[in-house]
Structure formats: C-alpha cells, structure tokens
Amino acid sequence: MSDAKNAEWWKTGVIYQIYPRSFMDSDGDGIGDLAGIESRLDHLVRLGIDAIWISPFYPSPMVDFGYDVSDYTDVDPLFGTMADFERLLAAVHARGLKLLLDFVPCHSSDRHPWFLESRSSRDNPKRDWYVWRDPLPGGGPPTNWIAEFGGSTWEWDEGTGQYYLHSFLPEQPTINWRNPQARAAMLDAMRFWFDRGVDGFRVDAVDHAAPNPERGDNPVNAAWEGPEGHTMSLLAAHSRHQPEVFDVVRDMRALARTYPEEKLLVGEAYGEIREFIEYYGAELDGFQLPFNFLLINAEWNPVIVAGLVDAYEAALPEGAWPNWVLGNHDRARIATRAGPGQAAVAATLLLTLRGTPTIYQGDELGMENVEIPADRVVDPWEINMPGQGLGRDPERAPLAWDAGAGGGFTTGEPWLPMDTRPGLNVAAQEGDPASMLNLHRRLLRLRRAEPALMQGDYRTLSVDDAVFCYERVRNGRRIGVALNFSDRARPMDLGGETLFSTTGDDARTGDLAPNEGRVVRLA
C-alpha cells in the first residue's frame, strides 16, 4: 500500500494538458499522435510539471475531434496503436510523471456498437442504454432543451419512431447512467485503463450525466441578452447538475479507491461556485479536484480576480483541496484574453495560488489564439453557430517546436494553421533567459522549493484597481505575491527578499514595473 503522501501527489503536483492533435506529429500526417507525445516528454520534465492529462485519443469518427467515442478501450489509428500507448505510459512513469486520460461519460458516438444496437429496435436489450422518448402528443420534441452546439437536444429516429437525447451534437447520443448495465459498462471502461497503470481521469462534462426529461421544459433565462437559440437562453434546470449526477460521481470515486494508490479524478462541470463545489461530494467522496473555471471566464481585473479567489476559498468544504486553471482546449488562451503583456502575471498567479494548477499546452510559451481563415474552420461549434465567437479552433492550433517548416510539429500540412512568428517556439525560447518558457521553469522551481507555495494557507493582503497582493503561509514561513495588472509602474507595498520577478531580475526591489509579478519572502 502506498503511503498517504504519495497517494495524494496531486496536492503538490502541477498538471499539464496535452491536446494530442496539436502537440507533436510523428508520422507527417499533420495531426499529433502518441508517439509524438513520447518524443517530447523531456520538454515537460525540464518544464517541471508532475502529471500529464491527454485529451481523447480513443477510436472516433472525429465529428467532435475525439469527444464522440466509438470505443472506450482502444486507440484511434490516427493517434497510433495500443502498443504506442503502452510505450508512452512506460516512458511517462520512467520520468517520474503521472498520466491522466480524458473520460467522456455522458455520450458516445452514434457509431458506437452500443448505440447501433440501441437504435436498431425498441425492444433491443441496449435500448435503455441511451435516452429515448416519444414525441409530444401533438408532435415535436419531448422538451424545449437546447443543445450546447445549437438546435434541439432531441434527434428524431425514423426507424423506431422516437427521439433520442444528445446534449452536444446529434452524433453524440446521451448515455443513460440510470440503466445499471450501461453504468457498469462505463465503469468497466474506466477500470480497463486503471488496470493498465493510468493514474487518473479528467472526466468530461460530467454535469450532463443524468438529465431528467421527466421534469419537462427548461425555464427561460431572463438575464440572457445574447442570440436566440443559444443554450444559455434557457436555464438548465432539468438537463444539468441533476441530483442523480452525484451518484455517478460517487461510483467513479468508489472505483478509484479500489486501487493501492488511489486514482485521481478531475471533474469538468461548468457553473456557479455553489454548483461545481458540490462535486467534491458531501463526504468528500466525489472528485478530488472538481475543475475550478472561475478565472477562465473572468474579466482580467485585479479586483474581480481577488474577489473570485476569496469567494472560492470561502466556499470550499472543510478538507477539500483547491485547484486553478487559466486555459484549455475549449477557451480562448490567457495571453489573448488578458493580453500578451499580462501573460507572465497570469502565470505567476496560476502557479502561486493555493491549490493544484493545470497548464494548457503552449501557455508556457505565451501562445495566443491563432486566426483561422473561414475555409480552415473545422470546429462544429463554430460551423453550427457562426459569427458568435464560439469556435475553439484558435486555441487548438498546433504548438511550434522550432522555426523550421511545419514548426517542428509536422513534416506535412498541419491540421490547423500555426503561429509561426519568431520567438513563439520552444527552440527559440530555450536559450532566452527572459522567455515565457524559462519564466515558467523558474516559477515551477520556486514552487517546488517553497512548501508555503505548494501547501501553505492563503490570505488576500490588498487589492486596488491595479495591484493584487496576497500571502502564502506554512509553518511560520511567509511568502508574498504582488501582481501588477497595469501597464504603469506601481508602488510595491510588500517588503522582504525578492525570490522571483517576471522582469527576469530576481533581485529586483522598489516599485513594481509595468505588468510585473513579484514573489517575496516576508519577514
């Protein structure tokens, strides 16, 4: 049995998200793959992270780029083979890192064998593995629910004369977790990867796991001021965050606890603080880390950011461990949202707040959203709802490793356009002490060296319209952090010895420079 400290490695660890299509291509088809990830692991070791989370690489028609799974226990040939996965897992563990996979529990592909059986007839044994309903008495969908990607959540099936539910695309039918056989099959899929040595899962869109059509229409969102037909135009009162979701989460956690070193579960559930906090579980028997997306959606303003940090800290259940994230494959990059001048301040915030941080690939280089020409758009969200700024292609553009053809990412044509500006690649930043890459490395070394930054308590010290200051404390050791959100020099109110500055001068004293983040040892 592993000791408790090792079993809770995630409390001091840093997670790095890999979007496999865009990380590294090993075979020249323009799409990243598992062998490509393995070939670049040393970059992550030098960066100083502790765990890798890889977005889906399972067999899929790729209608939603892997989030429409047709087989939960294999590897899509686009990304390699099961042998490639085994080699990657061994290489990750050989470097002392952990490996998390993405688990997509709420829907499969419409080409999954389960769904093909389910839709074959009303009396098929797997019919109830998905959510089917009759039309309303006068015809039409059973409820007014709107799918995340637009349109009704209900798709008519002519062959069996019923509608099936999908929360995203029609090609992603909703799995019925209320059916015991379906639930067991999904847990078996998780067990398949756990048994092979995977250290945990990031669980996708789990708030959609137990929609309840019996409760009827979702109410209108009176506060919504956006376009009609958007999913936010209705309040998801009956389609998300249902009480039965927490039974699903507890079952997942119970499975994770059956292993000598308990597996980590990170849950994706967007919502208000009160909503996603519930995913810890009433007895902390839910996810160890329900993703906290407060800063990924926030206006980049010190007063707002400080307020969200305080509100989150106050809401955490006793004994729950916090986490922070500034970017992922579904949201605009932080260097675009906050501005490239603030990217270093954002990195300092992410890596010095209390809790487990997750870094999205490329953020360590200061990557920004890449402009995607209309004829290169592939994201179904943008295709289905054009002109609303919902497309996710800009933040999914491939990472550049060098200044050569294909950015060192591929010898072929990359699946999405790349940002090839000088300096925005790994090779260029390796030798530049002032680069974002080396800034991240310095921050991560400092974090590892200072227990107060990894596990210390948190307290806001001061905040105004430009500067946010807070402290971390452990065993009497006090670390202060000052973040200048403005492009003007500002007074530095924290004394003490400077340990880190985003300016590159780690002995810097005096006023905060424009866009500076500074970490100091307080008396």
Q: Which positions are annotated as active-site residues?
A: 204, 268
Question: In the chain, how long is the greatest CA-to-CA distance?
Answer: 75
Beta-carbon contacts of 136 under 8 Å, excluding residues fewer than 6 positions away, are 142
Q: How far apart are CA 144 and CA 165, in angstroms?
A: 12
Beta-carbon contacts of 522 under 8 Å, excluding residues fewer than 6 positions away, are 471, 478, 479, 480, 494, 495, 496
The DSSP annotation for 17-36 comes to: EE-GGGT--SSSSSS--HHH
In which residue are the tokens 């040892």 written? 521
Q: Is 373 helix (H, G, I), strand (E, B) or coil?
A: coil
Residue 173 near residue 106, CB atoms below 8 Å: no
**H-helix or E-strand spanning residue 521:** strand 517-522
Q: How far apart are CA 500 and CA 482, in angstroms?
A: 11
Residue 264 near residue 256, CB atoms below 8 Å: yes
In which residue are the tokens 């399972």 written? 58
Q: How far apart are CA 414 and CA 332, in angstroms?
A: 20
Residue 449, token pair as written in the block: 């060296």
Q: What is the dihedral of CA 502, 505, 511, 517, to 10 degrees?
A: 10
Q: What is the dihedral of CA 16, 18, 22, 24, to 10 degrees?
A: 90
Rounded-to-5 percentages of helix, strand, coil across the chain = 30, 15, 50
| 290, β-bridge pairs | 267
Beta-carbon contacts of 499 under 8 Å, excluding residues fewer than 6 positions away, are 446, 450, 479, 506, 519, 520, 521
Terminal-to-terminal C-alpha distance of the chain: 41
In which residue are the tokens 């970490």 written? 519
Q: Count the residues in the chain.
A: 523
